[in-house]
Chain A
Amino acid sequence: MKLSITFDRLRQEEKWLVLEAKKLGCTTELVDVKNLFFDVTGKKPKNGFGDIVLQRCISYYRSLFLTRILENFGVRVINTSKVSEVCGNKLITSMMLAKAGILTPKTYVSLSSESVTEAAEALGYPVVMKPFVGSWGRMISLAKDPQTLGTIVELKESLANPIEHMYYLQEFVERPPRDIRAIVVGGEIVASVYRNAGGDEWRTNVARGATTSAFKPDKELTEIVLKAAELVGGGILGVDAMESKEGYMIHEVNNTVEFKGAQAASKDKIAKKIVEYVIRSAKQ
């Protein structure tokens, strides 16, 4: 069996994945996708990919486009482009979670700066503004009043990308200064950690200085995490939850999960579980 791991920025995680794949007797290649081009109207390239591709690109659009191209050539990719589309866009994720009855923060979307103030008033301050596409807590802002909101909107309006001129607003959920990251692989939680906000930071992303500590999820959390993972299409996912007053609340599902922090905290063999799942999937 041959496994191709596609990347555009090689991290510790990809090196661990290669190591585990080799230990499991799997022929593995690392493919730097920045070197590739495709005739997308033609046939599958002869020197194409292995039996299955594990998509690990750090760029969302690059990852999505490549997955689409490979799937069009009949190559099996984990995660699928459908999963990538749902998880990569917070608007789609929020709508799906709510529709499935999974507790998720109340979310308003405003289609221009003309309606964003009214949307925030309707939602109630403080409001959390997030980019539709993005990660690591980047550009996530907390507006405690209309003045702060106005400043954020003014800044976003000055950006060139039209997606910045639409607004995704969420209620600020009262919670302990931490959230939960559960790594789900093939319908099983393989690691779960608290992400404890660092210093004065309110965001709980590891990229923003949060520290991780492992814990064992209870039945309620396990159920909601697995339900969310299945809802978005399954595969290898990072499901983020908050401990709200109403119970566990899912606020995000990540498609290309980073697990360096979780692995250090939990000592779980996350890379091994991922590779085992990919090998299992290739044989199905």
Chain B
Amino acid sequence: MTITAKCEECGADIAIPDDAIVGEIVQCKECSSEFEVSSIAKGKVELKPAEVAEEDWGE
């Protein structure tokens, strides 16, 4: 069964990949907001807003 979580921004369902792990970034397909998986337990996933790109991000 696919796990989903609610988008904090627009309320749409975000499908969480089966192999998702804590720390991974997921994106809402409806509004493009990015979230970070903060916990996964018993088929329930918690999300928090992902950090926004800073000037020093990169390689």
Contact = CB atoms under 8 A, between A and B. Distances in A.
Nearest to A131: B55
Contacts of B22: 32
A62 B21 CA distance: 22
Nearest to B19: A15
B59 interface: yes
A8 B54 CA distance: 12
Contacts of A133: 55-56
A135 B59 contact: yes
A60 B24 CA distance: 19
Interface stretch (A100-108, A120-128, A254-262): A254-262
B50 interface: yes
A7 interface: yes
A264 interface: no
Interface in A24-76: 30, 32, 34, 58-62
A134 B56 CA distance: 5
B56 A15 contact: no
A15 B21 contact: yes
B23 A58 contact: no
A133 B54 CA distance: 11
A135 B21 contact: no
Interface in A104-151: 131, 133-136, 138-139
A59 to B, nearest CB: 5
The A contact surface, by secondary structure, is loop
Nearest to B37: A10
Pick from B19, B21, B55 the residue with the most CB of A within 10 Å: B55
A30 B19 CA distance: 15
B58 A138 contact: yes
A254 B23 contact: no
Contact of B55 (A134, A255, A257, A258): A134
Nearest to B50: A9
A8 B59 contact: no
Contacts of B45: none
Contacts of A131: 55
A133 B56 CA distance: 6
A58 B24 contact: no
Contacts of B50: 9
B55 A58 contact: no
Contacts of B57: 9, 58-60, 135-136
Interface of B: 19, 21-25, 36, 50-51, 54-59
Closest 3 CB pairs of A and B: A135-B58, A254-B59, A10-B23
10 contacts: A8-B51, A9-B36, A9-B57, A10-B21, A10-B36, A32-B23, A34-B51, A59-B56, A133-B55, A135-B59
Given A32-B22, A60-B58, 16 more contacts: A9-B25, A9-B50, A10-B21, A10-B24, A32-B23, A61-B56, A62-B56, A133-B55, A133-B56, A135-B57, A135-B58, A136-B59, A254-B58, A254-B59, A256-B58, A256-B59
